[in-house]
């Protein structure tokens, strides 16, 4: 039986359009340094700027500034390391936001305020107004990577606008999958290519409204000195070509598959987390009573099914997801949770059958 890949929130395999574009540009064998002044460099520059504009268009960004990075972690860090003063964010953010914020707070460079949330992973937007009083910056994800909960960006942007606080949005899990609504109060946005079938290793940071960033690794003048290092022209090109296909419509078709998948798991006594919250159409975090996530992952993998649980350390052992612990789910419960994330290849499939396949594997 062929493998069943249910881990698209970790990375979604390269879509055919992106692969075709990548093959084409790499296949030409040209030098691809967009910073060189010669004709070859100019050719690369043209491709890079074209990709930049296509990605800006796909994001519907009214600003014209896009800094290419190696991915979402780097984009988030570019923003965070330029912050001073009081920062408002959420404990449910990705580790590439929570970890640097905590580190900078520990050395006294920032003061963090965490927006409360309910047991479904929804921010308490009613509390935002007060929390933002006297704050200097706000950071929030567009959709949570573990639970799939979609943030009420309009509420965040509205509250930030009232308080005069610039808002950064990490749209890694949304861009390329759902239409991205970016209200006016948003002054910077993190984008990632590979969560929606672009190449792993390219991302971007969108900027406007005077948002300033400084290079985390000082070096050359690339990206107007904000992100030194030779730009990844080929990956940017492939990403842009993929976005032009508007495959987000595919992803939106996953909701009925996901719902049927979850219903099947629920018949076996599993509990879907954050079910009452608005969620990405592809993401299910599921608690299996009496389950052990580590062992369930092994059973699934041996049965040909890829899923995920928590965060893997460098050695490959799994620790409970910080998002689940912050929900808060107790450590014991967090160790019973698996995350399944569907992708474009599952559109039109019977979610019930997928759920059944998972249950059979776990029953071994």
Query: C-beta of 109: minimal distance to another protein in Å?
Result: 25
Q: Does 316 bind another protein (CB under 8 A)?
A: yes
The span of 14-22, 104-112, 163-171, 289-297 binding another protein (CB under 8 A) equals: 289-297
Q: Does 299 bind another protein (CB under 8 A)?
A: yes
Query: C-beta of 319: minimal distance to another protein in Å?
Result: 7
The span of 75-83, 216-224, 254-262, 291-299 binding another protein (CB under 8 A) equals: 291-299
Catalytic residue selected from 39, 313, 315, 364: 313
CA distance 21 to 166: 36
Tokens of 27: 């296949």
| Closer residue to another protein, CB minimum distance, 79 or 293 | 293
| Closer residue to another protein, CB minimum distance, 132 or 309 | 309
The span of 67-75, 121-129, 170-178, 309-317 binding another protein (CB under 8 A) equals: 309-317
Active site residue 313: yes
CA distance 264 to 354: 9
Quote the distance between the C-alpha of residue 342 and its chain's center. Answer: 14
Q: Does 1 bind another protein (CB under 8 A)?
A: no
The span of 60-68, 179-187, 188-196, 295-303 binding another protein (CB under 8 A) equals: 295-303
Q: Does 337 bind another protein (CB under 8 A)?
A: no
Tokens of 6: 């249910």
- C-alpha dist (Å) from residue 239 to 45, 69, 257, 274: 16, 13, 26, 31
Number of residues that bind another protein (CB under 8 A): 15
Q: H-type helices in the chain, by residue range? A: 16-27, 39-59, 72-80, 95-106, 125-132, 153-163, 233-244, 248-252, 255-267, 293-302, 322-326, 331-334, 351-362
What proportions of the chain, in percent to the nearest 5, are helix, strand and coil?
Answer: 40, 20, 40
Q: Does 360 bind another protein (CB under 8 A)?
A: no
Q: Does 37 bind another protein (CB under 8 A)?
A: no
Among 23, 64, 181, 301, binds another protein (CB under 8 A): 301
Query: C-beta of 290: minimal distance to another protein in Å?
Result: 12
CB within 8 A of 1, min separation 6: which ones? 304
CB within 8 A of 249, min separation 6: which ones? none
Among 295, 311, 328, 330, binds another protein (CB under 8 A): 295
CB neighbour class for 224 (10 Å; exposed up to 12, middle 13-18, buried from 19): exposed
Query: C-beta of 1: minimal distance to another protein in Å?
Result: 15
| Closer residue to another protein, CB minimum distance, 154 or 298 | 298
* Residues near another protein (CB under 8 A): 294-295, 297-299, 301-302, 313-319, 364
């Amino acid at each position: 039986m062929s493998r069943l890949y249910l881990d698209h929130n970790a990375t979604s395999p390269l879509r055919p359009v992106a692969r075709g574009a990548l093959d084409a540009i790499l296949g030409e064998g040209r030098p691809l340094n967009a910073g060189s002044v010669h004709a070859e460099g100019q050719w690369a520059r043209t491709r890079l700027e074209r990709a930049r504009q296509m990605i800006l268009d796909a994001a519907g960004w009214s600003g014209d500034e896009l800094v290419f990075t190696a991915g979402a972690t780097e984009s988030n860090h570019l923003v965070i390391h330029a912050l001073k003063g009081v920062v408002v964010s959420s404990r449910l953010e990705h580790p590439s936001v929570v970890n640097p914020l905590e580190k900078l707070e520990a050395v006294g460079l920032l003061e963090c305020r965490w927006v409360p949330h309910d047991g479904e992973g929804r921010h308490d937007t009613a509390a935002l107004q007060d929390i933002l009083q006297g704050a200097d910056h706000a950071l929030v994800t567009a959709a949570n990577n573990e639970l799939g909960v979609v943030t009420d960006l309009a509420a965040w942007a509205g509250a930030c606008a009232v308080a005069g606080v610039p808002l950064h949005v990490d749209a890694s899990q949304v861009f390329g999958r759902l239409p991205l609504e970016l209200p006016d109060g948003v002054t910077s946005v993190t984008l990632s290519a590979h969560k929606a079938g672009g190449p792993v290793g390219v991302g971007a940071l969108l900027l406007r409204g005077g948002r300033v960033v400084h290079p985390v690794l000082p070096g050359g003048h690339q990206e107007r000195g904000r992100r030194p290092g030779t730009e990844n022209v080929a990956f940017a090109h492939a990403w842009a070509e993929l976005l032009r296909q508007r495959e987000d419509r595919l992803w939106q078709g996953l909701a009925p598959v996901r719902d049927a998948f979850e219903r099947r798991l629920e018949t076996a006594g599993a509990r879907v987390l954050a079910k009452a919250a608005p969620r990405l159409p592809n993401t299910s975090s599921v608690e299996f009573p009496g389950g052990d996530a580590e062992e369930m992952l092994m059973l699934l993998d041996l049965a040909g099914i890829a899923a995920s649980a928590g965060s893997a350390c460098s050695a490959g052992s799994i620790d409970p997801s910080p998002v689940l612990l912050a929900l808060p789910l107790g450590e014991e419960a967090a160790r019973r949770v698996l995350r399944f994330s569907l992708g474009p290849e599952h559109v039109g499939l019977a979610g019930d059958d997928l759920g059944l396949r998972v249950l059979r594997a776990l029953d071994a």
